[in-house]
Chains A and B, each alone.
Chain A
Amino acid sequence: MWGRPSFYVVCQCLFALLLSMFSLFVPALSAQTKKGVPPVVARKPPAPPSGPTPRAEDGNVDLSGIWVPDSILLPGDPSYQPWAKKLYEERKANKGADDPERLCLPDGAVRVNPLPYKIVQGPKMVVLLWEGNTHSYRRFFLDGRAHNFDIEPESWTGQSIGNWEGDTLVVDTLGFNDKTWLDATGKPHSEAMHLTERYRRPDLGHLKVDLTIEDTKAFTKPYSFTRSFTLAPRNWELQEYICQAILDGIE
């Protein structure tokens, strides 16, 4: 019974040996292919102070401050054309495996991440800074210029022109590429996306942004919702978040 091992037994042993060796390498391989930064940990602000809406020197509502988004997911879904709905379903089925945000590519102008945003307001320009994702900025031009797509017809965050309508800053953004996700579930859009944001500060501690998204190539009708932000405490400041350094393992 314990004589020389048969051919089949030898093969089985070799196969088992190879399989166990392979299993040593598989974890390393999946670490390389499943790249992406871990999800950020949000810092929830306390209830903000109460008080009236502050005003800037030029009399406009002052939107300046550090703002924390109340929610990062879009309510409901846009009404999608069939090709876009299919793409959305695929992304949902993949559970966000291809999320550009995980690879440190820009969120774009619609998507927010949980880390704080800062608005810096001047009479001719408003700058929106974000701590997370690409740690970058959007500029809303209030100097009367028109959109100009000669040099850069498409970008991740588009081109934004702003105008005050009473106490509301209306920001009109065009010139998007189709690469961003509208939120972490993978909601798609096309390069025809046209974003209108209405920024309101009803009181000291709250910012409301009414977003209307039109997209003749991806939606069957416009999609609108209101996003709320809470004012961060005075001792909060934007921290430095360098996504690529985390992705590369340097930080």
Chain B
Amino acid sequence: MHLKTFLVVLAAGAAFARGSFGQDQASTLGTPQQGRIGRGRGPRPVGPPGPVPRLSDGHPDLSGVWNGFGGSGQDGPMQPWAAKIVAEHRKNGGAEDFEARCLPGGPPRAAPYHTSLFATPKLVLMLFEGNTHMYRQFFVDGSDHPKNLKPTWYGDSRAHWDGDTLVVDTVGLFEKSWYDFGGTPHTKQMHLIETFHRRDFGNLEMKVTIDDPGALTMPWIVNRTSTLETNFEMTEYVCNENNQDPAHLDAGIGK
């Protein structure tokens, strides 16, 4: 019992020392820059004005390097069993958060670093600067989710246009991932809808709907905005390089 407590305290201390549950982990960046940190800690900046750029097929071109997509800062409408788990996560300082071990944060989670969108008529890519520096693919080609999807960390995303809003539908999400800072548990029923509306040249509006009847009492809707980054390019963030202390964050791994 004492050993377990000691390990939990050590893990919690390590998690807090690393900051933001591991996202400020040793990167090759120098001084902090506008948009990389500080999201949600003050008034949100407004992006540069201008008309919405368009693709050759007339749809809005969502391409750009976008500043950190903010979180809601609130808990979702959780069923009691799920709320209990989130409370335990908080007590442990998020020590079991896979993101701190350089594993993906499941959608719709986005690290405070940049997210780039690269749009072509049939495929929109979401490229992450932070976390695991991976990508999501949104197929805008009229195809359906495959049958018998094997759950994956990023799920399967199919998208269509509703006027000038891109609607991205994602299913097949691996249940163990943490899709927010609290590690709200999710079930096989989780169905994620994200909409992207480029209001003008420099401003992106997003709506996230998490529909998970197994864990939530009702759909959880979060509105987010982002601004176009015009000063800096995305850098390469290699989370598992210089990962100093993973051994002290192994509480709960594999369970």
Q: Does B3 contact A (CB under 8 A)?
A: no
Q: Which residues of B contact A135 (CB under 8 A)?
A: 132, 134-135
Q: Determine whether the beta carbon of B132 is less than 8 Å from that of A151.
A: no
Q: Does A192 contact B (CB under 8 A)?
A: no
A184 to chain B, nearest CB (A): 19
Instruction: Please tell me the size bucket of the interface on A.
Output: 20 to 34
The answer, among B120, B134, B137, B241, for a CB contact under 8 Å with A136, is B134
The residues in A between 64 and 122 inclusive whose CB is less than 8 angstroms from any CB of B are 103-106, 120-122
Q: Does B28 contact A (CB under 8 A)?
A: yes
Q: Does B233 contact A (CB under 8 A)?
A: yes
The residues in A between 201 and 251 inclusive whose CB is less than 8 angstroms from any CB of B are 238, 240, 242, 244-245, 248-250
Q: Does B240 contact A (CB under 8 A)?
A: yes
Q: Does B133 contact A (CB under 8 A)?
A: yes
Q: Which residues of B contact A248 (CB under 8 A)?
A: 101, 103, 253-254
Q: Does B7 contact A (CB under 8 A)?
A: no
Q: Determine whether the beta carbon of B254 is less than 8 Å from that of A152.
A: no
Q: Which residues of B contact A244 (CB under 8 A)?
A: 101-103, 132, 240
Q: Determine whether the beta carbon of B236 is less than 8 Å from that of A156.
A: yes
> What separation, in Å, do the CA atoms of A155 and B238 have in the docked complex?
9
Q: Which residues of B contact A157 (CB under 8 A)?
A: 236
Q: Does B34 contact A (CB under 8 A)?
A: no
The answer, among B28, B125, B135, B152, for a CB contact under 8 Å with A154, is B28
Write out, one digit per residue, whether chain A residues 175-213 have a CB within 8 A of any chain B CB (1) or not (0). Answer: 000000000000000000000000000000000000000
Q: Which residues of A contact B103 (CB under 8 A)?
A: 242, 244-245, 248, 250
Q: Which residues of A contact B125 (CB under 8 A)?
A: 120, 127, 129, 137
Q: Does B176 contact A (CB under 8 A)?
A: yes
The answer, among A103, A122, A245, for a CB contact under 8 Å with B118, is A122
Q: Does A165 contact B (CB under 8 A)?
A: no
Q: Determine whether the beta carbon of B235 is less than 8 Å from that of A106.
A: no
Write out, one digit per residue, whether chain A residues 128-152 have a CB within 8 A of any chain B CB (1) or not (0). Answer: 0100001111010000000010011
Q: A122-B120, A242-B103, A249-B254 are in contact. Are A136 and B232 (CB under 8 A)?
A: no
B158 to chain A, nearest CB (A): 12
Nearest residue in A to B137 (C-beta to C-beta)? A238
Write out, one digit per residue, whether chain A residues 9-28 have a CB within 8 A of any chain B CB (1) or not (0). Answer: 00000000000000000000
Q: Which residues of A contact B232 (CB under 8 A)?
A: 151
Q: Does B85 contact A (CB under 8 A)?
A: no
> What separation, in Å, do the CA atoms of A148 and B234 have in the docked complex?
12
Q: Which residues of A contact B33 (CB under 8 A)?
A: 151
> What separation, in Å, do the CA atoms of A134 and B241 have in the docked complex?
12
Main secondary structure of the interface of A (DSSP, over half): loop
The residues in B between 230 and 254 inclusive whose CB is less than 8 angstroms from any CB of A are 232-233, 235-236, 238, 240-241, 253-254
Q: Which residues of A contact B102 (CB under 8 A)?
A: 104, 244
The answer, among B127, B236, B240, for a CB contact under 8 Å with A104, is B240
Q: A136-B134, A151-B29 are in contact. Are A120 and B120 (CB under 8 A)?
A: yes
> What separation, in Å, do the CA atoms of A129 and B176 have in the docked complex?
25
Q: Does B178 contact A (CB under 8 A)?
A: no
Q: Determine whether the beta carbon of B127 is less than 8 Å from that of A139.
A: yes
Q: Does B63 contact A (CB under 8 A)?
A: yes
Q: Does B218 contact A (CB under 8 A)?
A: no
Q: Which residues of B contact A106 (CB under 8 A)?
A: 238
Q: A120-B120, A129-B135, A248-B253 are in contact. Are A155 and B235 (CB under 8 A)?
A: yes
The answer, among A121, A151, A250, for a CB contact under 8 Å with B235, is A151
> What separation, in Å, do the CA atoms of A245 and B176 have in the docked complex?
11
Q: Which residues of A contact B56 (CB under 8 A)?
A: 57
Q: Does B87 contact A (CB under 8 A)?
A: no
Q: Determine whether the beta carbon of B104 is less than 8 Å from that of A127.
A: no
Q: Which residues of B contact A122 (CB under 8 A)?
A: 63, 118-120
Q: Does A40 contact B (CB under 8 A)?
A: no
Q: Please list the residues of chain B having a beta carbon within 8 angstroms of any beta carbon in chain A.
A: 28-30, 33, 56, 63, 98, 101-104, 116, 118-120, 123, 125, 127, 132-135, 137, 152-154, 176, 232-233, 235-236, 238, 240-241, 253-254
Q: Please list the residues of chain A having a beta carbon within 8 angstroms of any beta carbon in chain B.
A: 57, 103-106, 120-122, 125, 127, 129, 134-137, 139, 148, 151-152, 154-157, 238, 240, 242, 244-245, 248-250
Task: Identify 25 residue pairs between A and B in the complex whose beta-carbon atoms are under 8 Å apart, listed by A's number.
Answer: A105-B241, A122-B63, A127-B118, A127-B127, A129-B125, A135-B132, A135-B135, A136-B133, A137-B133, A139-B116, A151-B33, A151-B233, A152-B28, A152-B235, A155-B28, A157-B236, A240-B154, A242-B103, A242-B104, A242-B153, A244-B103, A244-B240, A248-B101, A250-B103, A250-B254
